[in-house]
Structure 1
């Protein structure tokens, strides 16, 4: 599994770009995770992502502006296969109607990830990436400013666990935890009342070979390689490293 870091800025508006990556098994077909505002620049910077049909699918971890504004730059990708939770689809249809705006340009195929209500995690697969096993886990976070419902709900934000079935190597990608005091013990000061701390703790307690996390959140003692998303002048704790745009991770 190859992971290409496209945007290494943390979420929450510090800086404007949020963490976004592309995943591939063969270097030809890619899964894009999050579509940051400067996705067009990021794609131009990486020829492997420019070939026709290279981007097979898009997975959105939340509906924050830093994660979704790049959708408009993907209007020439036909059709657009989008994976996200029901709440993210709701936000992008009503509060910030990017998906209806895309319809005149390209077909958008929705693939809901069943993380909502009592369902705080879900395993799923993506056609074209049969060698990878995916799991989405609800994590705490603030509702987007454009959301019509202001109270946080399960499915507003997810973290992603990806396991390569061939090598057994596992990646955890969780860029949306900035501003929450969250670690293996559970969420901090009531960021999401519906989110079960025990369920989150079990998710983070599972082993992973690589953790791609916000610099200010995530399990501090997690075993495995820890790569932090944040400004290039951010402090890096011991046994961790700072991500940079264009970074390639091989698992």
Structure 2
């Protein structure tokens, strides 16, 4: 199984276009040793030719240009993207669908609640119906609980995707925002059925529930929420009145933060993704980055490849 990190930043990317925090200003001026990042998305393949795109960020065209494997050029009009799978209906995870409008009908895997949002409150599907069109493949919950039925994507044989419903936040425009339900946000257990290896992918993770802990403990690689370093990061900087928890994210620091969670599991690789532009771990020389290194935790970057 091959995984390419197409984008590793949270919404807005890094540097964010209108932000002059220490990180963004430092990257622009060259005073900070850091690497620019686009908004989070990964691609998964078995053979290196056909890929499942997990989330379609607004930066998808730049990400495709930077990733030759997504353009195998087998015909005059071609793409290595065999299907798109969505974790939620957030703007930074779905609006890239509009950039794929020139292609063939788009196979789209998502939950019923995300599909509903994309037909109503953020109506991308009706818009795309005038271009390539979308063929929906539902990700089904099992008896209303957090477990969801595994799926295999045609053309990506040998890889199984098992969605897990997560406690996080639906988008602000979603009618489910204050009444979250199964499928508003998912994590993915992605398994290579031939090799028996797996990765757990969860760019938005607000709580470590029992089924999430089981997925973390069973995976060879975890690629999880790295949005904020502290619970009050955005409030201290004056950028928001909301905490990390209010936004549906588990910060890295603190007694019950992501570092403590990752210290408790034995995965071969532990990687943070969906990193907000304010997070000090973006500074290669920061003490926070050194802390992650001591704990054996990596920071995802655009173009990172994972082979399992």
Q: Does 1:222 align with 2:265?
A: yes
TM-score, reference length from structure 2:
0.71
2-structure distance, mates of 1:46, 1:33 = 15
Alignment root-mean-square deviation, CA: 1.9
Q: Does 1:211 align with 2:211?
A: no
Q: Of the two, which has the highest radius of gyration?
A: 2
Higher relative helix content: 2
1-structure distance, mates of 2:169, 2:143 = 16
Q: Which residue of 1 aligns with 2:165?
A: 138
Deviations 1:108-159 (A, max 9, x none): 1000000377132221211111201211000111120111343211110000
* Paired residues, number: 233
Deviations 1:15-55 (A, max 9, x none): 66542100111111011000011111101111221231311
1-structure distance, mates of 2:7, 2:143 = 30
2-structure distance, mates of 1:78, 1:137 = 29
2-structure distance, mates of 1:45, 1:14 = 16
3-state SS of 1:121 partner? coil
TM-score, reference length from structure 1:
0.86
Matches within 5 A, 1:1-251: 1-10=1-10, 18-50=39-71, 51=73, 52-115=78-141, 118-122=144-148, 123-150=150-177, 151-177=179-205, 180=206, 182-183=207-208, 186=209, 198-205=210-217, 207-215=218-226, 217=250, 219-220=261-262, 221-224=264-267, 225-229=269-273, 230=275, 231=277, 232-233=282-283, 235-236=288-289, 237=292, 238-251=295-308
- Any unmatched runs of 5+ in structure 2? 17-37, 229-249, 251-257
Higher relative strand content: 1
Instruction: Please tell me whether the aligned partners of residues 88 and 170 of structure 2 are also in contact (alpha carbons under 8 angstroms).
Output: no
Cα gap change, 1:117 to 1:149, in 2 (>3 Å): farther
2-structure distance, mates of 1:99, 1:74 = 12
Deviations 1:168-227 (A, max 9, x none): 1101110012xx3x23xx2xxxxxxxxxxx44443334x111100112545322211101
Instruction: Please tell me whether the aligned partners of residues 116 and 154 of structure 1 are also in contact (alpha carbons under 8 angstroms).
Output: no
Instruction: Please tell me whether the aligned partners of residues 10 and 214 of structure 1 are also in contact (alpha carbons under 8 angstroms).
Output: no
How far apart are 1:166 and its partner, in Å? 1.5
Instruction: Please tell me whether the aligned partners of residues 86 and 116 of structure 1 are also in contact (alpha carbons under 8 angstroms).
Output: no
3-state SS of 1:124 partner? coil
2-structure distance, mates of 1:223, 1:5 = 22
Instruction: Please tell me whether the aligned partners of residues 6 and 22 of structure 1 are also in contact (alpha carbons under 8 angstroms).
Output: yes
Shifted more, 214-223 versus 72-81: the winner is 214-223
Cα gap change, 1:117 to 1:101, in 2 (>3 Å): farther
1-structure distance, mates of 2:113, 2:85 = 14
